[in-house]
Amino acid sequence: MPLKVIRFFQLYFACCTLVLWPQMLRAQTFPEPLSPRTASYNMDIYLDVENKQVQAKQTLVFTNPSADTIRNMRFHMYYNAWKNNKTDFYTEAARIPRTKSQDEIDDCIWSWVEVTKVIDEQGNDLSGQMQYVQPDDDNTNDHTVLDLQLSEPVMPFATYRLEMEWESQIPPLMIRTGYSKDYFFMVQWYPKLGVYEPAGSRFAKEGQWNCHQYHPITEYFGEFGVYDVSLNVPTDHVVGASGFLVEKEQVGERTIHRYLAEDVIDFAWTAHPGFDVVKAKWRHVDIRLLIRPEHRCNEHRFLESAKHTLDFLADYLEPYPYPSLTIVSPPFFGLNSGAMEYPTLITAPTLCNLPEGIKTTETLVIHELIHQYFMQMVASNEQEEPWLDEGFTSYFEAKILDKYY
């Protein structure tokens, strides 16, 4: 396609996006977008704490980043990694006995996520046009990638809208995600669009979806976008999430927390009635530390190391651009969610019997906060090139520890 024609399409569809955008988002932080905003989500989430389930409505706005005509979309369905004992996640990790049948294993370990309805912007019901696919192997028991055939293709550089309804069974706290007692840590938890790679990008000889199955030794890859997420949870639960709180409304014994996160590649959240909230400030950034009362003896270690890291990265690389940072110190019974990074939200476990000279808490905060740059802002592919994010992060972790400790 001639370059002038491509530029025309880009300008035309950018104008269309500006017209449609206010219909999706009711608030905005950055006057100018910091990213392409290729895949954006508006979600209404209901957390059923008794049955450990989520019911959701989700609007996806996708902008075709290429001159290709796209006729299908692929979604990560991460919670299906624990749908049965024959998924790639289980068979590769050997985390449960593979000699036992599914019926022989306690039902409480299984989880799932299921899309129940899909409507495109023309009103076409696409619910019958979904199937699970296995782009990495022939394991038909693995349902971690969902392929959706479109009735109307996404034209070059066009913006396309889908209305979706879905529900999930939350797993007992597995690797990174799930629940433990009354603690919920929700990551890799929603139908997440893969990354469309036009011909010529990285290893793509032709346009293709980069949407791998969920393997236990890999992490993630996503598109930049805006997340406008309303979380309906019991009022006694303290909530933390990517982005910042826009508004909060109590309805009976439940409260709706609406969060906005702009120019990020994912969205994470937590809910737990046992958290204390400690607030701090670094330049323009509001810091919230969610921590159990028995761990508050170390709150200064969290906040000091976070500020040192933000200072160092601002001077050495670029100032942290977001207006918020949430640090989650999981309860002892939620340690499997510790030491992880998500856009504007990190987790770092601690213990009060750690001597001052043992900098475990500081090291975890520093390491996970550096991940806000590598890979969150750089958006490298953790599944195919994990050395990029972990390599740069480990390097800067050592530099910061050397300077301040």
Q: What is the pLDDT of residue 52?
A: 97
Q: What is the pLDDT of residue 205?
A: 75
Whether 189 and 79 have beta carbons less than 8 Å apart is answered as: yes
Q: What is the pLDDT of residue 292?
A: 98
Tens place of pLDDT for every residue, the chain, 405 residues? Answer: 443 333 433 443 344 444 444 444 445 678 899 999 999 999 999 999 999 999 999 999 999 999 999 999 999 999 999 998 899 998 998 665 555 555 555 554 689 999 999 999 999 999 999 999 999 999 999 999 999 999 999 999 999 999 999 999 999 998 899 999 999 999 999 999 999 999 888 776 788 999 999 999 889 999 999 999 999 999 999 999 999 999 999 999 999 999 999 999 999 999 999 999 999 999 999 999 999 999 999 999 999 999 999 999 999 999 999 999 999 999 999 999 999 999 999 999 999 988 989 999 999 999 999 999 999 999 999 999 989 999 999 999 999 999 999
Sign of the alpha-carbon torsion through 389, 65, 130, 113: positive
Q: What is the pLDDT of residue 25?
A: 44
Alpha carbon separation from 165 to 21, 69, 372, 403 (Å, rounded)? 21, 25, 30, 49
* Contacts for 271 with CB less than 8 Å, ≥ 6 apart: 47, 183, 184, 186, 231, 233, 237, 238, 239
Q: How far apart are CA 305 and CA 324, in angstroms?
A: 16
Q: How far apart are CA 291 and CA 268, in angstroms?
A: 17
Q: Say what the pTM is.
A: 0.91
Sheet holding 244-251, edge to edge: 112-120, 159-169, 53-63, 39-48, 225-234, 254-264, 244-251
Q: What is the pLDDT of residue 141?
A: 95
